[in-house]
A and B are shown apart, each in its own frame.
Chain A
Amino acid sequence: MLTLIAEGNHGTNAMDDLIRNTKTAPRRPGAEGTLVGIATATAFVALPTAIWIMSHPPTATAFSDWMRAASYLGKTVSVPGAALFCLALLLSARIPLFERIFGDISASYRVHQWIGGLALILLSAHPIGIAIGYLAFSPIAAARFLLPISGTEKTIGIAALLLLQASIALTYWNRIPYHLWKLAHKILGFACLLGIVHALTINGAISDMPALKAILATYLTLGIGAWTYRSVAGRWLVPRRTYRIERVALLNQRCVELDLVPEGKAIAPVPGRFAFVTVLDPAVPREEHPFSIARIGDGGRISFMAKDLGDFTSKLKRVKPGSIALIEGPYGRFGSEAGGPNQVWIAGGVGITPFVGMAETMPDAISADLIYSFSSHDDSVALDVLRGVTARNPRFRLHEWPSSEKGRLTADTILEMSGGSANKDFFICGPGIMVRSIRKNLLAKGVLSGSIHEESFNFR
């Protein structure tokens, strides 16, 4: 890795320190992390599954008809299903180690959602497969197997599965209130605990396999430990810094900016990164939400910008200066250090937020075109700040794109304004539809996937 020390004269001590310490990083640092993450997750699941299959190898008899095959597969998929469930709980804990393993925290959350869905599928197939096997000799036995009417260990398993299914179904509901979404995740920890107890105690299976029992017990400990850390005892265990909200300013009819100063130790803010913010004010619910760090000032000052997009953000303008906010972070890998010397920054709406700080602290080694798309100038934010950077920094060029006047921003327009795609890194932040569309179109124009960086906060 090539390390450069850059110097700048942007005026503030905090920004000077940031610029002096800026280093280049390999392109797409997340890519190596993602490969390591996939390998880690695969090994986590493959180990107990391999032990099970070696003890219960597939035989010709087991697949002699479709009912027997269903029974064999139903028993077998329970092991990777249980392992995936524990891994999903681990990933939900937002432990910095996983950000390194999976590339960035957004990626680890996407992996968490994916493996949670796969665990649900496999664990749902588990009792159905076994019940189909019972159908071969006794339909009533198959029916009774699916009901919690006999066997404590089986009843525990049924309860675990139903809790898992109900909780995950709730989290899939887009309109679910945030506090119910968090509650559904809390319930998942209980489901995991019941599921592993079922696996370890059900007669004649894993309970007779000491090695597999030890592995699943370890996975359960890790998963429940992570769940306890984040979902149960997070208020006391998760390290958060205390800030005081100094100013709440309406930037336009729908956007608000909060300026915060640290009370005690501050986070180490990096332009382009984001943090989880919990505001302790009666005007808003006590919930944590991710926000990009917009600006960084002296003495650890940071600011966030938020658009009125939901229950929480719509109430932020009523927060009183002097209220306390708890900050956890920074997270993410979005920032100019993730790319080469020539960059194109594409912002849609409130997606301008990370680019404000990135523009103000841009190292001398970087040259950037910022293309800012907004509906109309009434909806734009921070234009005065960005125009000021343009005026004093010849390596920064601002392209304003009011879509109500100029139409939708396209990849062709972006490349035309920025002078082509050769040897450039593209950074995109904005509404999901816009980010996906522009990414797709840039790829179609021949831009390499490794040269496109996105910021998305889709943790739901």
Chain B
Amino acid sequence: MTAMKKTAIVALVAFVVVAVGIIAYGYSRPKTAQTPSLPATAGTPAVTAPTESNSAPVETAKIVTASELAAHSNESDCWMAVAGSVYDVTAYLPNHPAGPEAIAPYCGKDGTEAFLTKGGNGEHSDKAKEMLATMLVGNLAAN
């Protein structure tokens, strides 16, 4: 058997082990209380984050002031406000399908309109809304 065949077989086995491991780990995490829902856009119902998430429970969500929000304003430390809630999207930035540059301008700021209209390109999917909800930090303090 050639060296490449052996390497490919090892890679196949590693794929199965790692994939099963990630799936098992993800579904083994403890379920939390329901997280706040994101507002509906015209014609679509509001989306509630799935209960099997890893974000903080609602009862422990903190209040985030505007100045505290503004302190997390770059790609390596990025909080964004959407519809009155504040989300820590730092870890997600590299995974954003349209690239981190689509979110980066809203680090430390209110990105409600950009999120709800997908930057003027329609609306984010329910899956995207569910994913955002898992990154909840707290609620933005009212002015």
Contacts and interface: CB of A to CB of B under 8 A. Distances in A.
A209 to B, nearest CB: 11
B23 A146 contact: yes
A437 interface: no
A143 B26 contact: yes
Given A146-B19, A169-B12, A172-B9, A137 B135 contact: yes
Contacts, number: 114
Contacts of A137: 88, 90-92, 134-135
Contacts of A128: 15, 18-19, 22
Interface in B1-34: 1-2, 4-5, 7-9, 11-12, 14-15, 18-19, 22-27, 29
A147 interface: yes
B12 A120 contact: yes
Most B CB contacts (10 A, CB to CB) among A67, A117, A130, A202 go to A117
B117 interface: no
Most B CB contacts (10 A, CB to CB) among A120, A135, A168 go to A120
Interface string A97-140: 00000000000000001100110110011011011111111111
B95 A205 contact: no
Contacts of B8: 117-118, 120-121, 168, 172
Chain B contact residues: helix, strand, loop or mixed:
helix
Interface string A143-167: 1101100110000000000000100
A124 B26 contact: no
A142 interface: yes
Contacts of B15: 124-125, 128, 165
A56 interface: yes
A64 B19 contact: no
B26 A139 contact: yes
B22 A117 contact: no
B52 to A, nearest CB: 6
A136 B78 CA distance: 14
A147 B135 CA distance: 21
B77 to A, nearest CB: 11
B54 A138 contact: yes
A172 B5 contact: yes
Contacts of A142: 22, 25-26
A307 interface: no
A367 interface: no
Contacts of B99: 56, 204
Contacts of B4: 113-114, 117-118
A132 B25 CA distance: 12
Contacts of A67: 91
A143 B98 contact: no
Contacts of B26: 139-144
B95 A130 contact: yes
B53 interface: yes
A113 to B, nearest CB: 7
B97 A61 contact: no
B63 interface: no
Contacts of B110: none
Interface in A166-212: 168-169, 172, 202-205, 208
B76 interface: yes
Given A128-B19, A150-B127, A169-B12, A136 B91 contact: yes
24 contacts: A71-B94, A113-B5, A118-B8, A120-B12, A121-B11, A125-B15, A130-B95, A133-B94, A136-B92, A137-B88, A137-B90, A137-B135, A138-B54, A138-B135, A139-B22, A139-B26, A140-B26, A140-B50, A140-B134, A141-B26, A143-B22, A143-B24, A143-B26, A146-B23
Given A67-B91, A140-B53, 19 more contacts: A61-B76, A71-B95, A113-B2, A113-B4, A114-B4, A117-B4, A131-B22, A133-B94, A133-B95, A137-B90, A138-B54, A138-B131, A138-B135, A140-B50, A140-B52, A142-B22, A143-B24, A143-B25, A172-B8
